[in-house]
Each structure stands twice: as structure tokens, then as C-alpha cells.
């Protein structure tokens, strides 16, 4: 059985994951509007990943006998200066998500909830991957100053990304 403190905190995270999905979908729209359809695709895949993360929290709360509480989702940012600015926002956002997950781990330790600790380990590992991927793309964008033929090539590469639900 999930204790009330963890139930509350896991619900907050579930809702934060849905916000993340909105945030990525907003970036996808922005990038499509400036004709960076490959980058728009990359963000749409991120949107799908964040929905998957939210549903993973959703199912875990239910499996542990908790009550899912869906909250309103705040409107995400809709404008950026350029593609580098977009990915700087992504990195900042993923770092915030990492801190939220780390906070959940800390609470699970205090509450001595080993099942939740085990569940959260997947998210800890996922956040390392998320930040590394974004850093790589951001470094590449900065190398080409976010423009020119290099941007065209990166955009084509980003178009190849597909969502595959983790096992």
C-alpha cells in the first residue's frame, strides 16, 4: 500500500510529466512553423515519451492502491529565439525533471518504501539518458551556430527518430 505522502508526491510527478509532454508538443509546433520538421519530429517523439512516463506513474499509483489525481496543466511556452534557444530550454527543463525525480527518491528513502525506490530507479536512469541526449544535440547545434548546411543535415537526422516504448 502506498502511503499518503508518496501518493501525493507521485501524483505531482505524474502531472509534471503531462506538463512535459505539452512543453515538447509546443516546441514541436514552433519548430514546424520555422520549417525545421526534423527537429519538430524529435520533439513530437519526446512528447510521446513524456506521455509514456506519465502513464508509468499513473499505473504505479494504481498498482500500489493509491488514487490518481489529475490536475490542470499550465500552458507551456510557445516562442523561442531559435533552435539553440529551444534546446537550451529543453536542457533546463530536463535538469528540473531530474531534480524532481531525485526529490522523489529522497522521500521514498525517508518513507522506507523500497518498491517505490525500485520503480524510481528506472526514472533516475532515464534522466541521465535524457540530459546526455539533449547535451549532445545542443553541442552539435552550437558547433554550427544553429544555421547553415549543418542545421539542414541535423534536421534531416532528427526526422529519423521514432518512438519506441521501453520494455
DSSP state of 82: S
Cα dihedral 55/58/59/63 (nearest 10): 170
Q: Is residue 165 part of a domain?
A: no
pLDDT tens sequence across 72-98: 999 999 999 999 999 999 999 999 999
Q: Is residue 63 part of a domain?
A: yes
**pTM over the 0.75 mark:** yes
What residues make up the domain containing 13?
4-158
CATH number for the domain spanning 146: value is: 1.20.1260.10
Residue 167's pLDDT band (boundaries 50, 70, 90)?
confident
Q: Domain total for the chain? A: 1
pLDDT, mean of residues 129-157? 97
- In this predicted structure, the answer to whether residue 166 has a pLDDT above a threshold of 90 is no
pLDDT, mean of residues 20-42? 98
What is the per-residue pLDDT for 91?
A: 98
Q: Is residue 167 part of a domain?
A: no
Cα 120 to Cα 10, 16, 58, 61, 88: the distances in Å are: 10, 15, 13, 12, 26
What is the per-residue pLDDT for 165?
A: 87
- In this predicted structure, the answer to whether residue 18 has a pLDDT above a threshold of 80 is yes
Amino acid at each position: 500500500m502506498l502511503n499518503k505522502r508518496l501518493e501525493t508526491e507521485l501524483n505531482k510527478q505524474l502531472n509534471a510529466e503531462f506538463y512535459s509532454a505539452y512543453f515538447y508538443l509546443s516546441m514541436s509546433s514552433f519548430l514546424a512553423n520555422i520549417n525545421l520538421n526534423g527537429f519538430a519530429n524529435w520533439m513530437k517523439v519526446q512528447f510521446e515519451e513524456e506521455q509514456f512516463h506519465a502513464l508509468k506513474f499513473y499505473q504505479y499509483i494504481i498498482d500500489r492502491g493509491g488514487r490518481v489525481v489529475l490536475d490542470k496543466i499550465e500552458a507551456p511556452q510557445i516562442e523561442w529565439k531559435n533552435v539553440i534557444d529551444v534546446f537550451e530550454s529543453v536542457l533546463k527543463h530536463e535538469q528540473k525533471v531530474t531534480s524532481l525525480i531525485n526529490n522523489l527518491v529522497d522521500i521514498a528513502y525517508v518513507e522506507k518504501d523500497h518498491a517505490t525506490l525500485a520503480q524510481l530507479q528506472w526514472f533516475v536512469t532515464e534522466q541521465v539518458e535524457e540530459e546526455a541526449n539533449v547535451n549532445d544535440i545542443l553541442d552539435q547545434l552550437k558547433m554550427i551556430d544553429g544555421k547553415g548546411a549543418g542545421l539542414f543535415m541535423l534536421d534531416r537526422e532528427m526526422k529519423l527518430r521514432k518512438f519506441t516504448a521501453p520494455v
